[in-house]
Each structure stands twice: as C-alpha cells, then as structure tokens.
C-alpha cells in the first residue's frame, strides 16, 4: 500500500504501524462487521421460518443451477414480481411469496448454484439458500434446452451444493439424491424448464439424461407459455396435501343461533386452496379443496358436523 500510493517504505526505527497494517486493520474490521450482520440476518430468517411453521404454512423451495429459470417459475406460480434476467446471479437474495390463491403454500426463490463455490463465501450462501432448502418440498430446476453434458454437469453441481456443501452429506457419484438413511428429509422433484426453447429431440435427450442419473421422472414446463404449469401445480399440491377433498357444508337448522355457511366457507378458503365451489338450492355448499389433514381435522371438530367429507 505504501509503495503503490506514496512510495513510502516501512521504517523500523520506531514502533509505529505502517499504512499497510492500518489498511489490513480496517479491512478486518469491515469483515467482522459484515460477519455479525450476516449472523443477525440468518437468525432473523430462522425465526421467520419457525413462525411460518407454527402457523401451518408449507414451503416449496426453488433451487438449481444459476439461470435455470427459478425466478420466472416463481413469478408464474405466485404472481409476485421479481427480477427476471437471462444472466448469472440476477437473483442475489431469497424472495418469499405464496402460491396464487393459496394462503398456506409459500414459495422461496433464491440465488442459483455455480461450479466451485469459494469456501470463503459458503456461509453467506448457506444463509441465503436456507430459505429454499429448509422446506417441505424442494424443486430442483434445470434448463431443458441445455446439451446432455451441460445438463448432467449442472445437476451434479446442484446435488453437491444441496447435500455435500450445505448439509454435509457424504455422497458418492451414484444417485438417487437421497435415501432413507440420509438426514436430509426434503422430498425432491426435478423440473425441466424452458421447454419452449427446446425442440422435441432436445426434450427426449433431457429426459434421458435425468433418467440416466436415476432421478425421478422430470416435470416439463415453460413459465412463459404456461405449458406444463397446471401439471406442476397439481403435483405440488398432491405432495403437500394428498388428494383434494370433496366437502359439503350444511346450512344451519337455526339461523338465529348457529353460524352461517359463509363463515365456514371463509375458514376453508383461509385453510387451503379451493378449486370448485357450488351453492345448492337448499343453502348448502359443495366445495373441492386442497388442504392438510391437520387443518381439515380442526375445522371438522369445530363445525359440529356441519362440514362433511363426501
């Protein structure tokens, strides 16, 4: 620092600090401040996750190699605007949103993986990625228009970052991504994105690449054209909630003393995702809903037999 700025040389005739030492002290102080800030941010994120878990909300994480289409899928599923650009690291922090029309399903979009992530940045990446990885369902995204070798490389990178570097799992070169002995319990779905940019041959090659890695059959989607999106939504909801329930909400016998049907309808909308709704002539309501077993059990107990599973 001395030589490049002022031509000054370190003098050893006294005990004063050199300019280089002052620069290093300032740098170390800045690094310590940033480390404290990162720890506070990670603790705040952890507390928010605990609160969401206590509320009964379920989280779907979006992960994968950078520029795999995570932010585009997040926008298509949630309707929440995020930066969508065709370049590396267009997303640098985690964004939380909810699945459209479903107050109980949250989505976490975060920074993409890269090859050879520097160890010095691992703690910061772990804090950023934890929102997406500590979830009920993890979607691993990959670009269907990539060549087979490129797709394989990116899937291996995603596996390494998820299991080896972030969770400390010791994995060999074989798949599947998890087994019953592994401590990471997230269910994983593979999603091939950008199928509107791939021709039929590329799609077949992409599916063959995923199959060769012993991964589950991928879901093929395009966030821009909408192709495959309904299938993906149904797969997500089926995993989180099981099959949709057909419900009948009965009208009160005494309207002056008993709760109106509209009150139970409101509760069900808050508890899950209602896909069909029909008001019958006798005042009862038929409804199709995706909802967790815990939530429907609470509502059934509170309804006094007014809510019936068909």
User: For 258-309, how does the pLDDT look when each residue is reduced to its tens digit (9 = 90+)?
Assistant: 899 999 999 999 888 899 999 999 999 999 999 988 889 999 999 989 999 9
Mean pLDDT of all residues belonging to the chain: 77
What is the per-residue pLDDT across 141-174, written as a single tens digit (0 to 9) for each? 999 999 999 999 888 887 777 666 555 555 555 4
Q: Tell me, what's the pLDDT at 66?
A: 81
Phi-psi label, residue 181: left if phi above 0, alpha if psi -120 to 50, beta otherwise: alpha
**pLDDT at residue 254, as a whole number:** 86
- What are the Cα distances from residue 248, in Å, to 107, 245, 286? 30, 10, 5
pLDDT of 79 higher than 80: no
What is the model's pLDDT at position 270? 87
54's enclosing H/E stretch is helix 19-54
Of 209 and 33, more confident:
209
Task: Please check the confidence at residue 205 and state whether its pLDDT lies above 80.
Answer: yes
Distance from C-alpha of 300 to C-alpha of 131, rounded to nearest angstrom: 32
pLDDT band at 201 (very low <50, low <70, confident <90, very high): very high
Percentage of the chain exceeding pLDDT 90: 31
As a whole number of angstroms, the distance between CA 215 and CA 239 comes to 17
- pLDDT confidence of residue 48: 54
- pLDDT band at residue 211 under the 50/70/90 scheme: confident
The model's pTM is 0.71
- Sort strands 187-193 and 219-220 into parallel, antiparallel or unpaired: parallel
Statement: residue 120 has pLDDT above 60 = no
């Amino acid at each position: 620092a001395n030589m490049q700025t002022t031509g000054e040389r370190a003098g050893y005739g006294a005990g004063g600090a050199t300019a280089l030492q002052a620069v290093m002290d300032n740098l170390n102080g800045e690094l310590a401040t940033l480390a404290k800030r990162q720890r506070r941010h990670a603790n705040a994120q952890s507390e928010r996750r605990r609160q969401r878990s206590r509320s009964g909300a379920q989280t779907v994480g979006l992960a994968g190699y950078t520029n795999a289409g995570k932010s585009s899928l997040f926008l298509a599923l949630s309707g929440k605007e995020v930066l969508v650009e065709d370049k590396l690291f267009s997303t640098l922090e985690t964004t939380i949103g909810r699945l459209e029309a479903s107050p109980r399903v949250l989505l976490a979009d975060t920074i993409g993986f890269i090859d050879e992530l520097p160890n010095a940045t691992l703690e910061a990446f772990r804090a950023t990625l934890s929102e997406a990885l500590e979830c009920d369902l993890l979607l691993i995204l990959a670009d269907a228009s990539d060549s087979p070798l490129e797709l394989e490389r990116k899937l291996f990178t995603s596996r390494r970052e998820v299991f080896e570097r972030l969770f400390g799992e010791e994995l060999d070169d074989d798949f599947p991504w998890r087994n019953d002995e592994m401590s990471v319990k997230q269910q994983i779905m593979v999603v091939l994105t950008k199928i509107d940019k791939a021709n039929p041959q590329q799609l077949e090659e992409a599916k063959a690449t995923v199959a060769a890695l012993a991964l589950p059959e991928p879901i093929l989607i395009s966030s821009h054209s909408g192709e495959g999106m309904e299938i993906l939504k149904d797969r997500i909801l089926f995993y989180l909630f099981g099959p949709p329930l057909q419900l009948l909400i009965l009208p009160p016998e005494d309207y002056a003393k008993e709760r109106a049907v509209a009150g139970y309808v409101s509760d069900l909308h808050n508890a899950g995702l209602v896909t069909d709704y029909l008001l019958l002539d006798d005042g009862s309501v038929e409804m199709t809903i995706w909802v967790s077993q815990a939530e429907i059990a609470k509502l059934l107990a509170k309804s006094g037999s007014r809510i019936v599973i068909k």
